A and B are shown apart, each in its own frame.
Chain A
């Protein structure tokens, strides 16, 4: 009895591993077919614009608001710490570097996964469960090209832009708190920032980070929707998976990217 259950456990473990590899393979093929190859029907640009609107423009509000508050909090915290060492002019440099290198790309990607990623998964999952995807196939339209590809591209394009806007708004919020409220001299605030922030090392590396996150988050979101069980439970599970997997992937990748970019080895 006991032996059998052990064997059973090993079988289940093996099955989980095979399932995982199968999902990875399916998602890779899915991405390849959606992005590479001949375009299906015309009007791809119109579809992309529509998705850019719902994925990018509609996420703008939450990005701007949270960016501003994060910048303001950074300036407040940084000021209270730095003022102990008498170097409160460095608050601009601290806010800018924190936002550009870490918080801009990471927080934007996390918010994006919650705001746009879950919506993408639920939308595509609902299309699947109401058999819209199979009807598209029926009339000879490839759903990968018609449904998945514009959403993937919209995500790739809009997340880096959102991250840049997040950083700018955050720095503006930080400067508002530091200069207008806490009374840091604005000349040294901006000069310190400009001296320590380098365009190629900090700004471009931050943008590269957010491009990587955009790729991963959108891929996970669209694939989970496309691959979900076509039931209401399946959709809810897929949406949860999107947010959890995307967040974990963002944080893990962020560590690796930071080590590669700023680790000096």
Chain B
């Protein structure tokens, strides 16, 4: 009898460990069992992707609809090509939709925001978003600001 409760205790301990690991995998690290078949691929070319990273989220009206899966340089026209996986449920994006790189908060992470266009044709798997807005680079902004003040002084 003593032995039995002991074994039940150990069994429950081991089960709790396995359960906790599964919880960590699914709930905390977001390791989803549903693979790529629930998403479709979109490409977007940016002049400057500064700070955007793989696994960054893709949002639409603030709602996360996908994530960035790859970032590489397009050798021919020297732009950054971003590959996104977008949820299949959001398959009604017009061809002239806009993708812009945004920042969450003042110091937050970079993410991609999609805004809808007005075209009748829809983006399909492997489609490209042509209308893009690059990441805001602080140095460029300061440069422009300084240039403006100098010009004003000249007048």
Residues in chain A within 8 A of chain B (CB atoms): 46, 49-50, 52-53, 56-57, 60, 85-87, 90, 96, 100, 158, 160-162, 164-165, 167-168, 171, 190-191, 193-195, 197-199, 202-203, 207
Contacts and interface: CB of A to CB of B under 8 A. Distances in A.
B29 A161 contact: no
B33 to A, nearest CB: 12
Contacts of A96: 28
Nearest to B25: A199
Given A52-B10, A195-B55, 16 more contacts: A53-B6, A57-B12, A60-B16, A85-B107, A100-B24, A161-B14, A164-B20, A168-B24, A193-B28, A194-B29, A194-B30, A195-B57, A197-B29, A198-B29, A198-B55, A203-B21
Interface string B1-29: 00100110110111011001101110111
Contacts of A85: 105-107
Interface of B: 3, 6-7, 9-10, 12-14, 16-17, 20-21, 23-25, 27-31, 55-57, 64, 67, 104-108
Contact of B104 (A87, A160, A164, A168): A87
Contacts of A87: 104-108
Contacts of A56: 10, 13
A191 B24 CA distance: 14
Contacts of B107: 85, 87
B2 to A, nearest CB: 10
